[in-house]
Amino acid sequence: ELTDRMIQPDAEYRHRWRKGDVVIWDNRCSYHKAAGDYPPEQDRIHWRVSIKER
């Protein structure tokens, strides 16, 4: 049931990228995947930041 809910279109966030945008999410609490709706020749930069909890 939870998986079915996660993949419903109204539970999805799609970002319309503009130059200078930054998107941050918590991998521990989100289901995410690339939409693949960008030109393959377009450069993309991915940074990962890990923060340790006490």
CB neighbour list of residue 48: distance below 8 Å, 6 or more residues apart: none
Q: Is residue 24 part of a domain?
A: yes
Could you give the CA distance from residue 39 to residue 18 in angstroms, rounded to a whole number? 14
Q: Is residue 31 part of a domain?
A: yes
And the tokens for 40?
């393959």
Q: Is residue 53 part of a domain?
A: no
2 alpha-carbon distance from chain centroid:
19
Q: Is residue 11 part of a domain?
A: yes
Supply the DSSP symbol for 41: T
- Number of domains making up the chain: 1
What is the per-residue pLDDT across 5-44, written as a single tens digit (0 to 9) for each?
888 888 888 888 898 998 888 877 787 777 777 788 888 8
pLDDT band at 3 (very low <50, low <70, confident <90, very high): confident
Q: Is residue 54 part of a domain?
A: no
Domain that holds residue 23: 1-48
Specify the pLDDT at position 39: 84
* 3-state SS assignment for residue 11: helix
Specify the pLDDT at position 16: 87
Model pTM score? 0.51
The pLDDT of residue 48 is above 80: yes
Specify the pLDDT at position 51: 82
And the tokens for 25?
């999410």
